[in-house]
Amino acid sequence: MHHLIQKVTLLFLTCPVMATGQNVKGNYTTLPLQDLSSFETSSPNWSVQGNVSIHPTGLVKTKTEGGKGILVGTPGNPIVTKLKASDLRLFVEFMVSPGAEGNVVLPGGQKVRISDSSLDQHPGAKTSGYIGQFPTQNAAKSPGLWQTMELAYDAAVPAVANSARLNSLSLNGVTVLETVYLTNSKSAADGQPLALEVNKGTIAFRNLGYQLLASRKPLTLNNLAYKVYSDKWDAKEYSKLDHEGKSAVLTQEVTKGLREFHLVYEGDMDVTEAGEYIFTSIYSGPVLSLDIDGKNVLLTGESTSQETHTGSANLSQGNHKFKIHYSRFPWRQPALGLRVEKSGIRPYDLHVLSSLPEPEPKPYISVTPEIRPEMVRSFILLDGEKYKRTHCISVGSPDGWNYTMDLNRSALLQAWRGQFANVTEMWYERGEPQLLFPAGLTVPVSGKSSFATLENTSSAWPDSSNINFLGYKLDEKGFPGFRYSIASATVSDQLVSNDKGVFRTFKVEGKPSTPIYSLLASGKHITDLKNGLYQIDDRYYIQVDKKYKAIVRASGENQEILLPVTDNTTYMMFW
């Protein structure tokens, strides 16, 4: 069956969804793409379009529609921005055709690789994210899906002549490089343009945002007054005033060595430039809150000084009143830090260095499949969910395709490609959270039960199916097959992988009393690319054998793909 599906994928003969330009998210200035006027010169190999469609196999010609918002390039001359920069942050979305190769050229002339490298087993010089150093992992998506790249770059490094520094590079939300020193022979003071180039295939760009980073400080804290309360660290309210005073700087050191305390700062926040400010807290303790003009900007719970939390506020020029509340864990070293940034401004600290001592080293503990699949039982906390899912198993394969199942619901909770699992919060010290985190490129899936009984194809998909988990069996390669009882029958659910993607097979034993269906995917836009291929938003593809009749239907504001589950039903996922 796996070989059959691989053959079917070669028969894709229709165009995928047309992708349109959108707005940049985050604290970035957008490079206008109404036409080519944002660039120094135009060239026939570059154009601005309103839509673009790229098929993942390359058997269908790339199609575009007129409009604005998307820059489309083919091999030829690079395109150079009128914008000149030195130190900056850069964000861009891009889409590649099969086999495409190109670069984002930074102000110092260094090139960040963009390529169709989604199936590379090991990162190298041809992998997206390469810039003189191999990325730590391959976080590229398949052709035809929009991808993101975000980086922070300094065109000059103090005390290091003719050098630049890539501070961080993230591809599709995965950090693949940090603190890479680069050769730079160009003048950083005057600023240099950015450039985009395509050496092979087609690459589309949209939502190109930038921040030019200056070192001025338009927000300062003044007239700081503090109160230190000796209430227990976990007290919901505090009233036992130990001492109070005034401080010239923001620091936790005014607590004078108390093991348990609640520290409250109040004062003036003087703003010389109006705009949106982003505040980042770095602390060790059970709680930190920041209020500005009586409105809460940050309110976070348990944290270590190796974590950060952010909140934002739109502030007018002038004086604003602020209040900070911080509490210490008595068994950990106190640490209190607050950082601020604004578009065009390099982030800077509002606290003194001694208020945020060097944290105790915290190891990164991972699980890496080498010869056979690895399985880890853990709790899982999904984004947007309040409670942990407690009966979960994560499976990682040597091919780099990984997933988590909620065994109680037979729900595929998450799927990812690349490195397997970060288990630090499970195995370090007490491991109290017992949480596993994906270590690679994760794609959001529905998180609902994967199969259920329905009266008809119009019936709503249940939040949790009436199923019972019966355990699992390992095949000869070590992949588990999960077994469930449902509708007087037994269903086996097995996910295996190879270098192409994840193959999922349902097998039914017995005669179901009610028809069983599988929920393959849900999303805002599900596009039928014919021959059994479906694109789910810009997240992933699903390939269904043509002999099965998949059902695409509306579900509120979303869409779903259903598939009747018979004796032996298989489909493939890839991204």
- The domain boundary, picked from 212, 243, 278, lies at 212
Span 518-543, pLDDT tens digits: 999 999 999 999 889 999 999 999 99
Least trusted range by pLDDT, from 14-23, 138-147, 161-170, 494-503: 14-23
Span 400-409, pLDDT tens digits: 999 999 998 8
Cβ neighbours for 255, distance < 8 A, ≥ 6 positions apart = 228, 261, 263, 328, 334
134/258 same-domain check: no
How high does pLDDT run on average in the chain? Answer: 91
When divided into structural domains, the chain yields a total of 3
Whether the per-residue pLDDT at 361 is higher than 90: the answer is no
Q: Which residues pair with 527 in a beta bridge?
A: 535
In this prediction, residue 7 carries a pLDDT of 33
Domain coverage including residue 223: 219-343
Q: Is 104 domain-assigned?
A: yes
Span 130-174, pLDDT tens digits: 999 999 999 999 999 999 999 999 998 888 888 999 999 999 999
In this prediction, residue 19 carries a pLDDT of 47
Whether the per-residue pLDDT at 60 is higher than 90: the answer is no
564/496 same-domain check: yes
Least trusted range by pLDDT, from 72-76, 366-370, 377-381, 548-552: 548-552
| Residue 222: count of CB within 10 angstroms of its CB | 10
183/77 same-domain check: yes
In this prediction, residue 549 carries a pLDDT of 87
* Tokens at 497, concatenated: 């992988």
Q: Is 481 domain-assigned?
A: yes
CATH number, domain with residue 272:
2.60.120.260
Q: Is 6 domain-assigned?
A: no
In this prediction, residue 499 carries a pLDDT of 87
198/330 same-domain check: no
Beta strands 411-417 and 401-406: pairing type? antiparallel
106/253 same-domain check: no
Question: 495: helix, coil or strand?
Answer: strand
In this prediction, residue 189 carries a pLDDT of 66
* Tokens at 466, concatenated: 């009436």
- Calculate what percentage of the chain has a pLDDT beyond 90: 78
246/303 same-domain check: yes
74/112 same-domain check: yes
134/233 same-domain check: no
Beta strands 275-284 and 309-315: pairing type? antiparallel
Cβ neighbours for 235, distance < 8 A, ≥ 6 positions apart = 262
In this prediction, residue 24 carries a pLDDT of 62
Q: Is 14 domain-assigned?
A: no
Q: Is 361 domain-assigned?
A: no
In this prediction, residue 6 carries a pLDDT of 36
- The domain boundary, picked from 177, 212, 247, lies at 212
In this prediction, residue 118 carries a pLDDT of 94
424/324 same-domain check: no
Phi and psi at residue 245, in whole multiples of 5°?
175, -165
Phi and psi at residue 352, in whole multiples of 5°?
-85, 155
Q: Is 353 domain-assigned?
A: no
Beta carbons of 407 and 395 less than 8 angstroms apart: no
DSSP character at residue 514:
S
59/129 same-domain check: yes
In this prediction, residue 251 carries a pLDDT of 98
Q: How confident is the model at residue 26 (pLDDT cuts 50, 70, 90)?
A: low
Q: How confident is the model at residue 5 (pLDDT cuts 50, 70, 90)?
A: very low
Q: Is 359 domain-assigned?
A: no
Whether the per-residue pLDDT at 273 is higher than 70: the answer is yes
Q: Which residues pair with 452 in a beta bridge?
A: 517
Of 223, 252, 214, 244, the closest CA to residue 87 belongs to 214
Whether the per-residue pLDDT at 344 is higher than 90: the answer is no
CATH number, domain with residue 97:
2.60.120.560
Beta carbons of 262 and 327 less than 8 angstroms apart: yes
Least trusted range by pLDDT, from 307-316, 358-367, 566-575: 358-367
Distances, alpha carbon 499 to alpha carbons 6, 110, 121, 262, 574, in Å: 11, 32, 8, 54, 10
401/529 same-domain check: yes
Beta carbons of 326 and 252 less than 8 angstroms apart: yes
Say how far apart CA 412 and CA 421 lie, in whole Å: 16
Whether the per-residue pLDDT at 15 is higher than 70: the answer is no
- The domain boundary, picked from 191, 212, 233, lies at 212
261/196 same-domain check: no
Of 547, 505, 551, 554, the closest CA to residue 528 belongs to 551
Beta carbons of 475 and 494 less than 8 angstroms apart: yes
